[in-house]
Amino acid sequence: MRLAALFALSLLAAGTASATTTADAIRHANRLMQKYTGDVPGASLLVIKDGKPLLDRGYGMADLEHHVAATSATDYRLASVTKQFTAAAILLLAQDGKLKLGDSIRHWLPSLPAFTDRVTLGELLCHTGGLLDYEDLIPPGTTKQLDDGDVLRMIAATTHGYFPPGSAYRYSNTGFVLLGLVVEKASGLSLQDFLARRIFQPLHMDHTLLYVHDDKSVPNRAYGYSETGGRWQRTDQDLTSATRGDGGIYSNIDDLAKWDAALYDSRLLSDASRRLAFSPHAKVVGEPYQADYGYGWRITGDTLWHSGESIGFRNVIVRWPKQHLTVILLSNRNDPEPYRTVLAIAEPFLH
């Protein structure tokens, strides 16, 4: 047989083997997603390899009461996956020369107490600012949802932090709420408008928005649920569900594929900004895994990732940039926590 024919046969065999391997990996992923299937709160799963979606689908229900199935277009509350977008907004403003990462938070929010003069924007981005958790400052008996102004007022009344800024790590929703307010001060736009104009619209993330109550409605919205006594109860909102910079974005896996693609080049963030976002600035402590923290991203081995949890939602994005693989799982239920599931889904796609 001629060499050319042999070569063609070997390519065909390799392609068939590759297709079989991918099909096996997809079957493996679908088995791991069984817990989300049926008439239960569901999930949407995306696996992207070399820029191509290999698995892009929904499981279970986005809305139990109206029997609306989850799809790849379902919008979930991202919770703390929002933080990478807030961090990107700060980095974009630094690129614009509108602020510096070494700026004091009090420079931008002068109502804060004097001790915050020493807390920088960069420290807030990597959770080393040490400001008190606003969740612990909510007055007993509060029934009205907190907004960012409430958080600012509560922190303005504090007299100390947990530790000197820059000296330790403590995960801080407070810090990212305040960073969202800095975006507004530095840009002259509302946080939702800045994110839309500088990130969502340029990337054609047409179904992604920072949710603000009494503003535009969320398209294809998933509602959050928690299991109590063997039954699913809608638990879509709580006291802290109206704050923005720490967790207020709604998005879907198809839009997040566009976000993932933009993190490989300079169409949005410069090389320098992406290096800052993806470099370790602090060692994560007090959490059940080993990681460093960049700016809005956890860093573990070859992965860049972040989870998001709020009442009725559990989400995670995990990127393997060297292998050009990303797996995103968004879910509208309080359990299970999806990080380990995503690592198991990714395993066969990495080989």
Domain locations in the chain? 28-350
Beta pairing partners, 188: none
**214 band by pLDDT with thresholds 50, 70 and 90:** low
- 303-310 and 298-300 beta bridge pairing: antiparallel
pLDDT for 144 equals 87
State phi, psi for 48 to the nearest 5 degrees.
-115, 125
Q: Does residue 29 contact residue 345 with C-beta atoms inside 8 Å? A: yes
The model's confidence at residue 18, banded by pLDDT at 50, 70 and 90, is low
pLDDT in tens, 274-319: 999 999 999 999 888 899 999 999 999 999 999 999 999 999 999 9
- Given this model, what pLDDT does residue 14 score? 45
The share of the chain scoring above pLDDT 90, in percent, equals: 85
pLDDT of residue 284: 98
Work out the average pLDDT over 207-234.
89
Query: Is the pLDDT reported for residue 33 higher than 70?
Result: yes
Task: Answer whether CATH 3.40.50.300 is correct for domain 28-350.
Answer: no
pLDDT at 237: 86
pTM value? Answer: 0.93
Helices 339-346 and 3-32: crossing angle in degrees, nearest 10, is 160
Report pLDDT for 130: 98
Of all helices (H) and strands (E), which one includes residue 339? helix 339-346
Q: Give the pLDDT band of residue 347 (cuts 50, 70, 90).
A: very high
